[in-house]
Structure formats: structure tokens, C-alpha cells
Amino acid sequence: MNEQRLLKVLGNVEEKYIEESVRYAKESGAYMDEFSAYKEEGEVMKENREYVKEAGERKIAGFAGRKILVIKGLGVAACICMISILVIHGIAPKQSSGGKSEDADFMGAESNVQRSEDEKMLNHGQSDEELQAKIHALDTMSGDAIGWMVVDDVLYWQYDTNFDLDTIDIGEYLGQGDEFTGNYHDPACTAEVYRVEGRSDLLYLKLSNGGNIFLVERDWESFD
């Protein structure tokens, strides 16, 4: 069986399921009437363009069968990385607040509040503990289940190993795979990490064994 056949057969499932799922529009009030006022033509085409953008959000496909160089990530590295980021974004403003003044305590408190908010923003609305817990969860996932990496506090998941390289422009070189938190730490096969031009949500990994891997930005929320 292949996916084309599955897609075709899926087209013939019981009609009640096809009809039932159309009615979602009614529940949310997104559309006034489930059929006759379904969608304007222009709207459908606009949505199509957005959908294609979702290419980057495709589920990481076919991990089980692929021999990808994936090893367990380093939780300690994650902690160090996070602490470094917090130090840069949290302590620096405090130092720049200058000498002591009458308002020093108040300013300090305000600075702490600001820092805490900054940390939350940096962590995509999560507390540091929540983020650490999620990184730990990722770190302890089965090594062959998923490829992941954190770059600039953004989480990327592996989703395609057979991307057509001719269709993309490789961007800025970021470093070696083992410099980043994640599970690309195999001394037997190193990986160069690049950005992809025009696709800030993608990372391209060029493996020393000739392989190519793409990672896509993922919501931290995905682990809720």
C-alpha cells in the first residue's frame, strides 16, 4: 500500500464522516451556512497559499525507517545554553542601570520584573522551569524517534531527509551540529548547520557522510 492509494480509499469512507466534518463551520460560527455560504473563491486561493507555506510544518515523516544520525541530546548543554541566554538578557540591563540612587531598590525590583518578562518572552511565553522540563523531555525521548535542535532558543524538528536541494538557497553557516543543543552529536558523522534563504523556519544540515537533513521550526507548545 502507498500513500496515494490510502488517499484515494480515504475518499470513499462513510458519508456520515464526510458530512459530519463539514459541520464544524457551524459550531464555530466561522461560516453562516455550512454549504451555500461555504467560502468565497478568492478566499480559498488565499488559503491555499497559506497552506503551502505550511510545508515547513509538515509532520516529521518516516523516522522509523530512516537511518538518521540521531543520538541522545545533552541536557547539560541545554541548561548552559539557557543560562547563558538568560545572563545576557537578564543581567546586562541591571548592570547598565548605573550607580545607586534613592530609587535603587525600586529600580531593582522593576528590573527584576522586567527581566522575568524578558525571560518569558525569550522562552516563548514559558517560564524557565517549563522550558527546561520540555528540553529534558526532548532529551529523554528515544534516540531514533526524532531529530531536534535548539538554535537561538528556537526549537527545530527534523522533517525531511530527501529535500530537493536545487529548489532552495542555502544561507548563513551557523556552526557544527554538536555546537547546538539537540541530538546531532555523533563524532562519526559531523553536520554543518545552515540557514535557508527566504525560509527562516528551516535549517539545513549537511552531513559529512553526504546526507542532507532539514529541520523545521516547531512550537514549544507541541509538547503540552
Partner 1 sequence: MEDNQIIDLYWERSENAIVETDKKYGRYCYSIAAHIVENEEDARECVNDTWLKAWETIPPNRPNRLSTFLGKITRNLALDRYRYHGAGKRNYGRVPLALDELKDCIPERKSYGREVEDLEIEEILNTFLENLTELNRKIFMRRHWYFDSVREIAAGYAISESQVKMSLMRSRNQLKKVLKKEEAKSIE
Q: Minimum CB separation from partner 1 for residue 213, in Å?
A: 16
- 49-88 residues in contact with partner 1 (CB under 8 A) are 50-52, 54-55, 57-59, 61-62, 64-65
d(CA 201, CA 149): 13
DSSP bridge partners of 148: 157
> Could you tell me the three cell numbers for 63?
523516522
- 185-224 residues in contact with partner 1 (CB under 8 A) are 219, 221-222, 224
DSSP bridge partners of 111: none
- 156-175 residues in contact with partner 1 (CB under 8 A) are 164, 167
Find out whether 204 and 119 touch, Cβ atoms under 8 Å: no
Helix (H) or strand (E) holding 28: helix 24-28
Q: Minimum CB separation from partner 1 for residue 192, in Å?
A: 24
DSSP bridge partners of 194: 173, 204
Kindly indicate which of the ranges 34-42, 114-122, 132-140, 182-190 contains the residues binding partner 1, using the contact rule CB under 8 A: 34-42
Q: Does 6 bind partner 1 (CB under 8 A)?
A: yes
Residue 153 to residues 44, 83, 122, 139, 178, Cα–Cα distance (Å)? 35, 11, 7, 15, 15
- 94-123 residues in contact with partner 1 (CB under 8 A) are none
Instruction: End-to-end CA distance of the chain: give it in Å, rounded.
Output: 33
For the four alpha carbons of 76, 82, 84 and 87, in that order, the dihedral sign comes to: negative
Q: Does 137 bind partner 1 (CB under 8 A)?
A: no
Q: Minimum CB separation from partner 1 for residue 19, in Å?
A: 5
Q: Does 24 bind partner 1 (CB under 8 A)?
A: yes
Q: Minimum CB separation from partner 1 for residue 140, in Å?
A: 19
Per DSSP bridges, beta strands 191-196 and 170-176 are antiparallel
Contact residues toward partner 1 (CB under 8 A) are 1-15, 17-22, 24-25, 27-28, 30, 35-41, 44-45, 47-48, 50-52, 54-55, 57-59, 61-62, 64-65, 164, 167, 219, 221-222, 224
